[in-house]
């Protein structure tokens, strides 16, 4: 046992987050935590790490337990470089393994100051430092945020091979399915641990829900009978009467708690929005190109968005996906080409990082700025009922936005877009910070949405379910793809891993190096260092170019080719180093 919670209570202000919560994390457990936004997932992680203390109960941790924790709150030294931060936060002995992980996460400029990094890069650096820390228990809070699909695929493989304990909060259902072996469900202040992964957990939760419904029916019948008796005012009677009255009050509390749990589980978004009429002319994109400071993002993209389109935009981080959205919506002018938008088009645009500026406003007052009701296919829903449909209960409606979790704020932003009844939705990373339940409701909503949907997302499961074709941004061009995105990512990785898979199949149980591999492994570190020295010189040369843009472009091309070669060398080093580790383990035995 690594960590045990024993009858723990946690309170925030006057609200109980957990009541008598108990569960244990064992060695080699890989536990996925599920539950709605604001239910206490992050609070539970902080409790286990020791950042917060329980109001009541006990937490036992194994002596000398090492925990590596990726928080949603980034804590980096802004004055350090990427490399200095990594060295100060980790005890990684193998610098080549460090560089391999940084390369996988798109952090190739080790001398870059942290203060100049984007929010996404800072998040990826925090993830790298967490993965590189030696630990008995790895705790990750939404690790896929700000990762592109290829980075997520790599992280998934990394965690599948992780042989120690793992505690994971994520909205990525493929992650939960493929990595975890247990599921911890947080519901109404209680913890329910299932010894199965996410897919196997779902029918078990349904069984528990059915049992709760049966218990509720029985309790209601008993409560009705006891309520009639209680009205006879038995307080002054015998001790037995007083005991029965106390049992009646306990029954009332239990029934209320049970009904709250049932409501939480069964709650669904019960509307589909009214459709603003969309004419024949929608959005016509004609040969648009975009670039900044001589860096081309994409070239000659043409497409006509149809009335009921379900289109995904996929590409690596920083490749230009969000810039494409901004260009289509007129926020950025293209270098060439044109965009024509029809008169009947009504766009709803969910930005990737849309900040709620006035955090002192209550949830309901903020939403009133966008409208007082939503017109739906089944009539009008007022703002109070609409908020409840989006999982904002009576208490949450009147709370300041500053008290909401990140997922709840994102849900409110989404609602502020939908309340305008758009007929074309542009959604930039809509699943970021949302819980699985809200994502599933969003998927259902989009399935019934009578308009076009264009979405940027790194969530493979979401894309597989929502879109029917995609444009993949590769090498400055958009390539149309009509299959499942999860299959595309898997197949895209095959060329790199083909040799490794073949060797793995053919190799005997005893690990070994061929003479060629041993020579390559012994020389690889020196070769990588030599390549990195050349790359540094090329980068230094760019400062000497002045206004000679032709020379600068040539150097940029050479730098990119060098970086790609180094990345491949690190991949090869990682593969050979894994074999070497297995050889050393075998020698010990």
Question: Who wins on pLDDT, 279 or 424?
Answer: 424
Q: Which two tokens stand for residue 18?
A: 């957990």
Report the DSSP beta bridge partners of residue 229: none
Picking from 304, 326, 300, the residue whose alpha carbon sits closest to that of residue 473 is 300
- In the chain, the percentage of residues whose pLDDT exceeds 90 is 29
Question: What is the CATH architecture of 3-201?
Answer: 3-Layer(aba) Sandwich (3.40)
SS3 372: coil
Mean pLDDT of 191-211: 83
Ranges 218-232, 464-478, 527-541: which has the least confidence: 218-232
Read off the pLDDT band of 242 (50, 70, 90).
low
Question: Who wins on pLDDT, 426 or 356?
Answer: 426
CA 38 – CA 480 distance, rounded (Å): 38
Question: Do residues 314 and 485 lie in contact, with contact meaning Cβ atoms separated by under 8 Å?
Answer: yes
pLDDT in tens, 88-102: 888 766 677 788 888
CA 434 – CA 265 distance, rounded (Å): 16
pLDDT in tens, 139-198: 999 999 888 888 998 999 899 988 899 999 998 888 888 999 999 998 878 898 999 988
Assess whether pLDDT exceeds 80 at residue 255.
no
Report the DSSP beta bridge partners of residue 9: 56
Question: Who wins on pLDDT, 96 or 374?
Answer: 96
pLDDT in tens, 289-312: 999 877 899 999 999 998 889 999
pTM above 0.75, yes or no: no
Picking from 291, 289, 292, the residue whose alpha carbon sits closest to that of residue 336 is 289
CA 136 – CA 68 distance, rounded (Å): 8
Assess whether pLDDT exceeds 50 at residue 269.
no
Angle at 308 between CA 303 and CA 314, to 5 degrees: 50
The CATH number that domain 283-488 falls under is: 3.40.50.300
Assess whether pLDDT exceeds 80 at residue 378.
no
Ranges 255-264, 388-397, 447-456, 480-489: which has the least confidence: 255-264
Question: Who wins on pLDDT, 254 or 469?
Answer: 469
């Amino acid at each position: 046992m690594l960590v045990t919670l024993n009858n723990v209570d946690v309170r925030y202000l006057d609200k109980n987050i957990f009541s008598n919560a108990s569960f244990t994390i064992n060695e080699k457990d890989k536990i996925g935590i599920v539950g709605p936004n604001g239910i206490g997932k992050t609070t539970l992680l902080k409790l286990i790490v020791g950042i917060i203390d329980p109001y009541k109960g006990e937490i036992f941790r194994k002596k000398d337990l090492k925990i590596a924790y990726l928080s949603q709150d980034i804590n980096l030294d802004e004055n350090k470089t990427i490399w200095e931060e990594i060295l100060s936060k980790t005890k990684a002995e193998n610098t080549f393994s460090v560089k391999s992980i940084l390369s996988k996460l798109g952090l190739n400029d080790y001398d870059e100051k942290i203060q100049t990094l984007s929010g996404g890069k800072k998040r990826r650096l925090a993830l790298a430092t967490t993965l590189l820390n030696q630990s008995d228990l790895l705790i990750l809070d939404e690790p896929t945020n700000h990762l592109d699909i290829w980075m997520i695929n790599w992280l998934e493989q990394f965690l599948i091979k992780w042989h120690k304990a793992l505690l994971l909060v994520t909205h990525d259902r493929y992650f939960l399915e493929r990595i975890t072996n247990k599921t911890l469900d947080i519901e109404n202040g209680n913890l329910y641990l299932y010894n199965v992964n996410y897919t196997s957990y779902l029918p078990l939760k349904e069984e528990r829900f059915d049992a709760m419904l049966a218990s509720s029916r029985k309790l209601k019948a008993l409560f009705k009978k006891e309520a009639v008796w209680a009205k006879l005012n038995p307080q002054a009677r015998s001790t037995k009467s007083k005991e029965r009255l106390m049992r009646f009050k306990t029954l009332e509390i239990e029934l209320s708690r049970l009904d709250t749990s049932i409501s939480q589980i069964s709650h669904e978004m019960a509307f589909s929005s009214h459709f603003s009429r969309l004419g024949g002319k929608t959005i016509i994109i004609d040969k648009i190109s975009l670039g900044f400071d001589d860096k081309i993002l994409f070239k000659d993209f043409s497409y006509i968005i149809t009335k009921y389109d379900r289109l995904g935009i996929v590409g690596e981080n920083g490749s230009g996906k969000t810039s494409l959205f901004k260009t289509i919506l007129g926020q950025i002018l293209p270098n060439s080409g044109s965009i024509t938008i029809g008169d009947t088009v009504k766009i709803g645009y969910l930005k990737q990082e849309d900040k709620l500026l006035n955090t002192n406003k209550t949830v309901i007052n903020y939403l009133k700025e966008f409208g007082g009701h939503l017109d739906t296919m089944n009539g009008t829903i007022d703002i109070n009922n609409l908020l409840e449909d989006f999982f904002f209960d009576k208490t949450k409606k009147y709370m300041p936005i500053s008290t909401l979790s990140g997922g709840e704020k994102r849900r409110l932003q989404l609602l502020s877009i939908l309340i305008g009844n758009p007929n074309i939705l542009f959604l930039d990373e809509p699943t970021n910070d949302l819980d699985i339940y809200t994502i599933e409701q969003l998927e259902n909503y989009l399935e019934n949405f009578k308009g076009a949907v264009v979405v940027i997302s790194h969530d493979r499961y979401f894309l597989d379910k929502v879109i029917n074709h995609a444009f993949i941004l590769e090498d400055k061009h958009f390539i149309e793809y009509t299959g499942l995105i999860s299959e595309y990512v898997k197949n895209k990785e095959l060329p790199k891993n083909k040799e490794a898979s073949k060797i793995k199949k053919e190799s005997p149980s005893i690990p070994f190096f061929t003479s060629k591999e041993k020579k390559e492994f012994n020389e690889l570190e020196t070769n990588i260092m030599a390549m990195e020295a050349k790359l540094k010189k090329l980068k230094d040369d760019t400062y000497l170019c002045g206004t000679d843009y032709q020379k600068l472009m040539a150097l940029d091309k050479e730098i990119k080719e060098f970086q790609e070669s180094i990345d491949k060398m690190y991949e090869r080093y990682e593969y050979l180093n894994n074999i070497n580790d297995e050889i050393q383990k075998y020698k010990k035995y």
